[in-house]
Amino acid sequence: MSAITALPTHVKTAAEVRTGAVSLDGKLEPGESLTGAPTCAVTPASGAPTVSNIAVTAVEKRINGEDIAAGRAITFLVTGGTAGATYNLLFSCGTNSTPAQTVQVLCKLRVVAG
């Protein structure tokens, strides 16, 4: 198991519609991949942005300067949110390991006025 590291806080305006991607590569064993339908829980719920189109990557994806193999990252779309608020986006997904794991990654999103 790898160490948990702090991620930067990502920023968007309340009016922006943005795509995003998170890597779970550091949490997966060699040959292991994400499987099933990933989910995202957003807190706090009041005025929270909408996270949709959540999917496991089907092709290699470049994230934060690293090429992440297909099946080892999650992509999504985020809209809305209340300007001045910071949200926790907790992504969860199962894996194809035996026994299967559920892995999670936490992202911070700050919404600013446009």
CATH superfamily label, 9-112: Immunoglobulins (2.60.40.10)
pTM of the complete model beyond 0.95: no
Looking at residue 64, its pLDDT comes to: 87
pLDDT at 19 over 60: yes
pLDDT in tens, 57-96: 999 999 989 999 999 999 999 999 999 999 999 999 999 9
Section 14-26 average pLDDT: 95
pLDDT at 8 over 90: no
Section 2-26 average pLDDT: 82
Residue boundaries of the structural domains of the chain: 9-112
Distance CA 35, CA 2 (A): 20
Q: Are 91 and 107 spatial neighbours (Cβ–Cβ below 8 Å)?
A: yes
Distance CA 112, CA 114 (A): 6
